[in-house]
Amino acid sequence: MKYIDGGVCAAKGFSASGIRCGIRPGKTKEDLSLILSTKPCSAAAVYTQNKVCGAPVKVTRAHLENGIAQAVICNSGIANTCAENGEETAEKTCGYLADALGIKPTDVIVASTGVIGQPLPLEPVKAGIPALISALSENGSDAAARGIMTTDTVKKEFALEFSAGGSACRMGGIAKGSGMIHPNMATMLVFITTDAAISPALLKKALSENVKDTFNMISVDGDTSTNDMVALLANGEAKNREIVYEDEDYKAFKDALFELMKELCRGIAADGEGATKLLECAVSGAATDKDARLAAKSVVCSSLLKAAMFGADANWGRILCAIGYSGADFDPDKTDVSFESAAGRLCVCKGGRNVAFSEEDAKKILSEKEIKIIVSIGGGAFSATAWGCDLTYDYVKINGDYRT
Amino acid sequence: MKYIDGGVCAAKGFSASGIRCGIRPGKTKEDLSLILSTKPCSAAAVYTQNKVCGAPVKVTRAHLENGIAQAVICNSGIANTCAENGEETAEKTCGYLADALGIKPTDVIVASTGVIGQPLPLEPVKAGIPALISALSENGSDAAARGIMTTDTVKKEFALEFSAGGSACRMGGIAKGSGMIHPNMATMLVFITTDAAISPALLKKALSENVKDTFNMISVDGDTSTNDMVALLANGEAKNREIVYEDEDYKAFKDALFELMKELCRGIAADGEGATKLLECAVSGAATDKDARLAAKSVVCSSLLKAAMFGADANWGRILCAIGYSGADFDPDKTDVSFESAAGRLCVCKGGRNVAFSEEDAKKILSEKEIKIIVSIGGGAFSATAWGCDLTYDYVKINGDYRT
C-alpha cells in the first residue's frame, strides 16, 4: 500500500470539478462539485441517523437501492433540509445533470451541506451545470474538495494504491466536515472512488464495517448533522479479478479502505471548527469492544477535556471522569493514563492515582499539534481509537453567528 | 407558598458557617462550610452516577443508610477523588467534626468539590473545624454558600415558606455548580434544609421524584462530575403533624421542594461556566414522557445551539437537528419552534419549515439574559423542561487552565 496524489481522480476513469454557481450571494468560494466515472459503478453509502434527514439524503438513498451510480453532485452553502420542496429540488438537480451527461438520473448521488431551513435555489445549480461539466478534469479533485467545504479551513483529500486480484488498484477520497461532527453516524460528507472491481455487496460490507472504526469514532462537538453521507464508487477500471468473496483480495481492499477512511477522519478531526490540535484517544484493556469504544469516544467528546487540551493542561482527572460517565464498564483503580506527542510521552495516572510528573514536560507535550491520549482501563483484550479536537475560542466565534 | 430569606438557615433549628481553612495555598475565598441542625434529622440524598465516584460520596452514602443526619461539612478546592486514602480522609473529617460537636460521626454528611487526582490535605480541615464551629450562625447561609463555590461566580441560595400538617414550614437550600453539569444524575452539590416533620421514606421519595424534573434536566457542558450530591435534611422543628402518607400535606411538601429545586437549577444553569444567558427549553406535544425529556435535554446540550444563543443567532435548524439525534420519537414536519424573552416572543419554524421573521426582532429577543425555547413536536400529551446556558469564550478560558 502506498500513498499517492490525485484525490478522487487517483483511480482510473474518474474526473472531477468544482465551480462557484452562486448559491449564496456575496460569497466567493466554490459551491458546486461533481465527480464522474466513465462508466456506471458499484456504489454504496452510509447516511446520517438523525431523524431530521436532509432531502438529498432521502433522494440518494432511493437512487442507490440498486447499488449502482455514476456521478456525484454536491453543493455547499444551503443544506436543502427543513425547506419546501426539498426532494423535488434534489431530484431536479439529478435530472439536469443526468440530461447534460447522458446518464440515468437514478445513477446520480446528490448531496448538500450548509444552513438548515432555507430553500435551496434551483436556478444557480441548473445554470451552473454546463460550466461544472466543462470543468471536469483528471486534476479536478482539488476543486471538487473545495466546492464541498463550508467552515472547513483546509481541504481533506487523500489517495493510495494497493494490490488486489492481481492488479494495482487505486482509491481516493475527499471529505467535508468541521462542525456538527459526532460519532454514531456517517458524520460528514465523504466521497470515495476506486478503480477496483468489487461486488456491490462486498463494497457495502467493507464500507459499513470500516465506518464503525473510523467516521463513527470522531467527534468535534457532539452534534450530528442532518445531511451526512459517506459514498463509495467502484468502477472496475483497474481490471483486477472482481472481488466477490471474503478472501485475501477482499481483505486487501478493506484494509486500503480503512487506511483511507482513517486518514480522512484525522483530517476532519484536526480541522474541527476552531481546532488547534488533533486529539487521538487510544483505549486498551477493555473487557468488550463496546466498552473500549464508549470509553474512547467519551474522552474525545468531553468539553472539559477538550478545553484543557486547548490550554495544554494535563488535567487527567477529566479523562477518568469522562470514562466514568461513558457507560463503559471498567475499574477506575486499574486505569492508567499517558499523554504522547512529538515532544515525548508522559505517564500521568497509574492505577487511578496521580503520578508525580513534571508540569513543564506535560506542557511541552500538550503544546504540540497532535496529542495522543493513551488509556488502559484494565486487563481486557479489547481496544478502540477515537479522534477529536480541542475546544477553542474560535469554535464559539464560528458558531456564534454562522448564518450571517 | 412564599419566598423568604435565609437560605439553609431559613428553617428553624439550622445554623451554618463558611470559613477559609487553606486547602489550596494562595487562594483567598472560603473553602470549608458547615450546616448544623440542633437535633438529628430525617435525611435523604441522591448521588453522582459516574463510575468514578469521589471518596466523600462513598462515605456519605454509607452514613445515610439509616436515613438520619445532623450536620453537613463540605470543602472546595480539592475533590478528594482518585487520590490515596480518600475514604480515610473523608471519615476522619467526619470524626473530627463529630467529636467537636458532640454528635455521631455517622450523622455527618461529607462532600468535596474541586480538582480530581490530588490528595485532600487533612491538616487544614482539622485545624479549621474549631473556627468553623465558632462561626456557626443563623445568618451563616451566605458564608456556607460561598465556601462550597469553585468556578461559580454567584452564590446560589433560595428559601421559601409553605403550609403542611397545620403548620407553617420553611425550606431553604444552597447550591454549587458551574462546570461539569449535566443531566442524568444529581449534578452538583446541593444542600437543602427544612423544619417540616416528614418520614425518611417520603423525604427520599419527594427528593428522588423532583430530581428527575429539576437537576437531571440541566446541562452546562455535558460532563457529569464524580462528586455530586443533593442532600436534604428535615428536622421537624416546624412542629407540623409528621408527613407519613402520600396525602395533601405530602403534596404541599413535594411542591415546595420542587419550587426550591427548580430555582436552584435555574441559578446553576444561569451561572454555567462562562455563561451570559440562561436557556430554558420547554418541549410539548410529545407522545411519551421520555420523548419530551430527551428532546428538551438534547436542545440545551447542543454546543452548536449554545454558541448560536451566545451570538443571538436565531438558527432554529440546530434545534430540529438536536431533537433529531436525541433519540426522541417525533415528526419533524409537525414541529414548531418559538423564541421568547423579556423582549417578546417570535415563531421561527412552523411544521418543520422556516417562517418569515424579522432578524432584527429575533436579535432583540435573543439578546436578553433569559431565553425560552418553546418547541412543540406533535400532538402528544407529554411535556418537559430543561435548563442550560450559552457556550462562550469564557467557558473555554475557564476550562483551558483550571488547575493552575
Reported as a single tens digit per residue, the pLDDT across A229-285 is 899 999 999 999 999 999 999 999 999 999 999 999 988 888 887 889 999 999 999
Q: Is the pLDDT of residue A128 over 60?
A: yes
User: According to the model, what pLDDT value does residue B185 have?
Assistant: 32
- The helix (run of H) or strand (run of E) holding residue A147 is helix A141-147
Residues A281-292, mean pLDDT to the nearest whole number: 96
Domain parsing of chain B, residue ranges: 2-270, 278-400
- The SS3 call for residue B370 is strand
| pLDDT one-digit tens code per residue, B7-45 | 999 999 999 999 999 998 888 899 999 999 999 999 999
Helical H segments across B176-302, by residue range: 200-213, 248-270, 289-301
Q: Which of A122, A147, A130, A229 is nearest to A185 (CA)?
A: A229
Helical H segments across A314-373, by residue range: 317-324, 359-366
Smallest CA–CA distance, residue B206 to chain A, in Å, is 25
Dihedral angle at the C-alpha atoms of A165, A267, A226, A299, nearest 10 degrees? Answer: 110
Dist CA A179 CA B135 (whole Å): 51
User: Given B50, B301, B403, which is nearest A324 (Cβ)?
Assistant: B50
Going by their DSSP bridges, the two strands A229-234 and A189-194 should be labelled as parallel
CB B335, CB B377: distance < 8 Å: yes
- The SS3 call for residue A391 is coil
Interface of B with A in 228-287 (CB under 8 A): none
CATH class of B278-400: alpha beta
- The helix (run of H) or strand (run of E) holding residue A336 is strand A336-341
CB B136, CB B145: distance < 8 Å: no
Smallest CA–CA distance, residue A299 to chain B, in Å, is 10
Contact: A304, B399; criterion CB under 8 Å: yes
Dist CA A63 CA A45 (whole Å): 11
Lowest mean pLDDT among A40-54, A127-141, A325-339, B370-384: A40-54
Amino acid (one-letter) located at A382: F
User: Given A52, A184, A308, which is nearest B400 (Cβ)?
Assistant: A308
User: B321 in contact with A at a CB cutoff of 8 Å?
Assistant: yes
Could you tell me which chain B residue has the CA closest to the CA of A114?
Answer: B317
Helical H segments across A271-389, by residue range: 289-301, 303-310, 317-324, 359-366
Q: How confident is the model at residue B371 (pLDDT cuts 50, 70, 90)?
A: very high
Catalytic residue among A60, A113, A187, A385: A187
More confident residue, A389 or B105: B105
User: According to the model, what pLDDT value does residue B275 have?
Assistant: 87
User: B323 in contact with A at a CB cutoff of 8 Å?
Assistant: yes
- The helix (run of H) or strand (run of E) holding residue B156 is strand B156-164
Residues A98-112, mean pLDDT to the nearest whole number: 97
Contact: B396, A310; criterion CB under 8 Å: yes
User: According to the model, what pLDDT value does residue B221 have?
Assistant: 59
Q: How many CB contacts within 8 angstroms connect chain A with chain B?
A: 207
Question: What does pLDDT average to over chain A?
Answer: 91
User: What cell does B94 get?
Assistant: 467526619
The label of the residue with cell 412552523 reads B350
The label of the residue with cell 427543513 reads A82
Q: Which of B182, B142, B225, B185 is nearest to B45 (CA)?
A: B185
Q: Is the pLDDT of residue A190 over 90?
A: yes
Dist CA B92 CA B94 (whole Å): 5
Which residues, 6 or more positions from B279, have their beta carbon under 8 angstroms from its beta carbon?
B269, B300, B306, B309, B371, B373, B387, B388, B389, B390
User: A121 in contact with B at a CB cutoff of 8 Å?
Assistant: no
Interface of A with B in 167-226 (CB under 8 A): 179-180, 182, 184-185, 221-226
More confident residue, B259 or B150: B259
Dist CA A146 CA A18 (whole Å): 7
User: What cell does B185 get?
Assistant: 444524575
Would you give the end-to-end CA distance of chain B in angstroms? Answer: 44
Detail the DSSP E strand segments found in A48-177: 68-78, 108-115, 156-164, 167-176
Contact: B322, A225; criterion CB under 8 Å: no
Between the alpha carbon of residue B258 and those of residues A210, A369, B246, the distances in Å are 48, 47, 16
Contact: A402, B116; criterion CB under 8 Å: no
Rg of chain A on CA atoms, in Å: 21
User: A317 in contact with B at a CB cutoff of 8 Å?
Assistant: yes
Dist CA A241 CA A239 (whole Å): 7
Could you tell me which chain A residue has the CA closest to the CA of B349?
Answer: A117
Smallest CA–CA distance, residue B249 to chain A, in Å, is 37
Residues A86-97, mean pLDDT to the nearest whole number: 97
The residue length of chain B stands at: 404
CB A173, CB A264: distance < 8 Å: yes
User: According to the model, what pLDDT value does residue A28 have?
Assistant: 86
Could you tell me which chain B residue has the CA closest to the CA of A115?
Answer: B317
Q: Which of B270, B195, B3, B229 is nearest to B110 (CA)?
A: B229
Angle at B364 between CA B360 and CA B369, to 5 degrees: 155
User: What cell does A383 get?
Assistant: 481496544
Dist CA B293 CA B328 (whole Å): 8
Lowest mean pLDDT among A106-115, B62-71, B151-160, B337-346: B151-160
CB A161, CB A246: distance < 8 Å: no
Q: How confident is the model at residue A70 (pLDDT cuts 50, 70, 90)?
A: very high
Dist CA B127 CA B20 (whole Å): 11
Contact: B226, A321; criterion CB under 8 Å: yes
Going by their DSSP bridges, the two strands B32-47 and B14-19 should be labelled as antiparallel
Residues B147-173, mean pLDDT to the nearest whole number: 92
User: B51 in contact with A at a CB cutoff of 8 Å?
Assistant: yes
Catalytic residue among B187, B214, B224, B385: B187
Dist CA B197 CA B214 (whole Å): 23
CB B404, CB A313: distance < 8 Å: yes
Q: For residue B311, which residues of chain A lie inside 8 Å, CB to CB? A: 399-401
User: According to the model, what pLDDT value does residue A339 have?
Assistant: 97
Contact: A321, B354; criterion CB under 8 Å: no
Q: In the β-sheet with B382-389, what is the strand arrangement from edge to edge?
A: B353-354, B344-350, B336-341, B370-376, B278-286, B382-389
User: Given A52, A391, A401, which is nearest B313 (Cβ)?
Assistant: A401
Dist CA B268 CA A193 (whole Å): 50
CB B373, CB A279: distance < 8 Å: no
Contact: A225, B321; criterion CB under 8 Å: yes
Counting residues of chain B whose pLDDT is more than 90, the rounded percentage is 72
Dist CA A71 CA B308 (whole Å): 35
User: According to the model, what pLDDT value does residue A183 have?
Assistant: 38
Q: How confident is the model at residue A332 (pLDDT cuts 50, 70, 90)?
A: very high
User: Given B52, B222, B310, which is nearest A324 (Cβ)?
Assistant: B52
Known catalytic residue: A187?
yes
Amino acid (one-letter) located at B347: C
Which residues, 6 or more positions from A348, have their beta carbon under 8 angstroms from its beta carbon?
A314, A316, A337, A338, A339, A354, A355, A357, A362
Going by their DSSP bridges, the two strands A278-286 and A189-194 should be labelled as unpaired
Residues B324-345, mean pLDDT to the nearest whole number: 94
Q: For residue B400, which residues of chain A lie inside 8 Å, CB to CB? A: 307-308, 310-311, 313
The label of the residue with cell 486505569 reads A335
The residue length of chain A stands at: 404
User: What cell does B149 get?
Assistant: 463555590
Residues B210-219, mean pLDDT to the nearest whole number: 85
User: What cell does A114 get?
Assistant: 450548509
Counting residues of chain A whose pLDDT is more than 90, the rounded percentage is 71
Lowest mean pLDDT among A197-206, A358-367, B263-272: B263-272
CB B7, CB B174: distance < 8 Å: yes
Q: Is the pLDDT of residue A366 over 60?
A: yes
What secondary structure letter does DSSP report for A198? B
User: According to the model, what pLDDT value does residue B232 have?
Assistant: 97
User: A88 in contact with B at a CB cutoff of 8 Å?
Assistant: no
Dist CA A82 CA A99 (whole Å): 27
CB A289, CB A384: distance < 8 Å: yes
What secondary structure letter does DSSP report for B27? -
Q: How confident is the model at residue B186 (pLDDT cuts 50, 70, 90)?
A: very low
| pLDDT one-digit tens code per residue, A4-51 | 999 999 999 999 999 999 998 888 899 999 999 999 999 999 988 888
> What's the CATH fold of domain A2-270?
L-amino peptidase D-ALA esterase/amidase (3.60.70)
Smallest CA–CA distance, residue B397 to chain A, in Å, is 8
With 0-12 CB in 10 A as exposed, 13-18 as middle and 19+ as buried, what is A213?
A: middle
Rg of chain B on CA atoms, in Å: 21
- The helix (run of H) or strand (run of E) holding residue B308 is helix B303-310
Q: How confident is the model at residue A304 (pLDDT cuts 50, 70, 90)?
A: confident
| A267 φ/ψ angles, rounded to the nearest 5 degrees | -65, -45
Between the alpha carbon of residue B256 and those of residues B51, B100, B267, the distances in Å are 32, 34, 17
Smallest CA–CA distance, residue B15 to chain A, in Å, is 34
Contact: A303, B53; criterion CB under 8 Å: no
More confident residue, A151 or A148: A148
Q: How confident is the model at residue B400 (pLDDT cuts 50, 70, 90)?
A: confident
User: What cell does B43 get?
Assistant: 435525611
Dist CA B87 CA B116 (whole Å): 14
